[in-house]
Amino acid sequence: MKKSNALALLPIGVFMVFYLTLGIVFEYVMKISMGFYSVPVVVAFLVALFVAVMQTKGETLDRKFEIMGQGVGDKNIVTMLIIFMLAGIFVGVVGRSSAESVAYFMLSITPPRFAVVVLFVISCFVSTAMGTSVGTITLITPIAAALAEGSGFSLPLCVGTVVGGAMFGDNLSFISDTTIAACNGQGCAMKDKFRTNFAIVLPAAIVTLILITVLSMNADINEGITKEYDMIQIIPYVLVLISGILGVNVFLTLIIGILSGSIIMLLTGAVDFPSLLSGMGSGAAGMFETSMVAILVAALCALIRFNGGFDALLNGIRKVFKGRKGGQLGIGLLVGLMDIATANNTVAIVMANPIASEMAKDYGINKKKVASILDTFSCIFQGFLPYGAQILVAVSTVTTLGYTISAFDIIKNLFYPFMLLLSSLVFIFVIPEKKEKV
C-alpha cells in the first residue's frame, strides 16, 4: 500500500468523463433512443482499468495482475457473482406473466376511484418480487396507460406512480441486483439490511399513498380495466419474498424459487422443458454485464487502493463530513454522485462499496446501515435521473403505445423517491440511533 495520493483517483474520473460524455452525446445530440445505455459500460471500465495499470509505477505487470486478482478473488465478490446468476435464472424461469396476473387481479377487485393507489401497491409488490425496477416498469406501464385512458386519470400520474413503486422494490427486494451488491459489498445479511431499510421506506410509501389518494379524489373517472389472470403463477414470488423476510439463506431462497417456479410453469403448461432451460440460460446471460462490471470494478478498486487513492478520498471526506451522522450523509452523497455519473444504481453501489467500507470503519457505522444507505440513496438518485433507464423505459413504452409524455412529466409525479429522500434524512439526522455493533 502506498501513501495517500489523490492522483490515484484519476481512473474513476476517466470512467465518468468517458461514460457521461458519450451518454450525453448519444442521448441528446445524436438523439439515439436509450443513448446512455448504448455506451458499453464494460468498455468504459476497461479504459479506466488501463489507466490504473499505467499509474501503478514500480511494479511488474505480473504484480499488477496479482493485485487485481486479490480484489476480484474477495469472498464478497465471488458470492455476489453467484447470487447474480441465481437471481437471473429465477427471473428467467418464472417470466412475467405471473406479475401481470397480480396486477389485473388487484385492479379487478378495486373500486375505480382507488385504481391509481392500487397501481402503486402493485408496482411495489411486483418490483419487490421480481427484483427489477426496469422489468416492473416495462410490464406495468402498459397497464397504467390503459388505466389512464379507460378511467380518466392523468397519464403522467399513472406512469409516475408505476416508476415510484418500481423504485420501492429495487431498493427493498432480496433478489434485486442493488440489494445483492450492497449486502455482499458490505458483508451483511440481507435480512438485516431489509429490516433497517423497511423502517425507512414504510413512512415514505405511506405518505406517497396518501398523496396519490388525495389526487385521485379530484379526478373525473369513468371505469376500470379488466383482463384474465392466473394466480397460481405468483407462488414462486411469494415463496422467495417470505423466505427472504424469515432470514432463510439467500442461496436456498433462490433455489426454492427456481424449483417451485420450474414445477409450476411445467405443470400449468406455461412452458415446455426445453423452453424452461432456455429461459434459465437467458436469465443467467442477462446478468452478464452486471457480473463483468463487478469483476472490473473489483480489479480497478484494488489498484486504486494500492496506489493510495482511497486514503486521499477518505482524508477529503473527513474534512467535510463530521461525526456519525455526517458520515452517513457522506456515504449517501458518494453513491448518489456515482449514480449521476453512471446512470446505473447497481454500478454506483459496486463502485462506492470499497470506499463506503472504509468510511464505515472511520465513522463507526455498522454494515447493515451502510448497505441500507448505499441501496436507498442510489435508488433515490436513480429515480430522479431524466436519463436513467427507469425514466427512459417508461417514456419509450408509453410512446410505443401511441401516447405523448416527457421525462419531466413523469418526474413531477414521482412522489415516492422524494418521500424516500425526506424519510432517509429524518432517519439520519432526527431519529435517535440505537447502540449497535459496528
Residue 309 is which amino acid? Answer: G
Q: Rounded CA gap, 210 and 386, in Å?
A: 25
**pLDDT number for residue 111:** 79
- pTM for the whole thing? 0.79
Rounded Cα–Cα distance for residues 120 and 341 (Å): 28
Amino acid at 376: T
Q: What per-residue confidence (pLDDT) applies to 51?
A: 94
Tell me, what's the pLDDT at 350? Answer: 84
**Residue-level pLDDT at 331:** 93
- Give the model's pLDDT for residue 139: 79
Residues 6+ apart with CB under 8 A from 319: none
Residue 225 φ then ψ, to 5°: -125, 150
DSSP 219: S
pLDDT for residue 427? 92
CB of 99 within 8 A of CB of 261? no
pLDDT at 109: 75
Grid cell locating 316: 477529503
Q: Looking at 95-176, list the stretches that DSSP marks H as alpha helix, in order from N- to C-terminal side.
A: 97-108, 115-130, 133-151, 155-172
What is the structure's pLDDT at 315?
A: 82
- Tens of pLDDT along the chain (438 residues)? 567 788 888 998 888 888 888 888 887 788 887 677 687 888 888 999 999 999 998 889 999 999 999 888 877 778 778 877 887 888 788 766 666 677 777 777 777 788 889 889 988 988 887 777 887 887 788 888 888 877 778 889 989 999 999 999 888 888 888 888 899 888 888 888 988 899 999 999 999 999 999 888 876 666 656 666 667 877 887 887 788 777 777 788 888 888 988 998 888 887 888 988 998 898 888 778 778 888 888 898 889 888 888 788 888 888 888 888 999 999 999 888 888 877 778 888 888 888 899 889 888 899 999 999 999 999 999 888 877 778 878 887 788 778 878 888 888 899 999 999 999 999 999 877 666 555
CB 36 within 8 A of CB 65: no
